Structure 1
């Protein structure tokens, strides 16, 4: 959220096709480790364009991967490494069309 993204839900979402909404019991609640549970603004029916798995060791140049249910790009990152937030932002921008995928998670792998 500090990077400009909006909260849908903390920990889990309800998926309807490619749209995500918070479960009613979690709507607007955000756990900040070591601080507590805070209430904040949130969005519903957010169109999902990137699925990020944190806590996984992704390859330096990953093979293209799409979620089988939604078709969105899948990214696998540790989440604790320096620069991981920047990698997520770059992948999000590529999914939005700000960058063009050449190879990697959302690319076709051609040319390499």
Structure 2
């Protein structure tokens, strides 16, 4: 399993507007292709005005297949154009996280 972590820095005072547009037009089509997000958060302490969301995939091939379908959907492209024109996002960071298999790291104990 992998998790795609996406962090957006939003202009001060526009987080609510960003989330409202996404809830109305982005989330429904994105969830149709990617499944529901593993998590969707806003920051309260530290780097504020950030939106962080997590998407779970079986592997990179699964991610590539589902994201390609999303990027080919005209509804998603229309949402992205509208969101881009709103100018709310200042920065985007992405990370692919792999689950740690602790069982593989701990040597078996003799019986």
The structure whose residues are more often strand, as a share, is 2
The structure whose residues are more often helix, as a share, is 2
Assess same fold via TM > 0.5. Answer: no
Relative contact order, higher structure (CA 8 A, sep 6+): 2
Length-normalised TM-score, structure 1: 0.21
Length-normalised TM-score, structure 2: 0.21
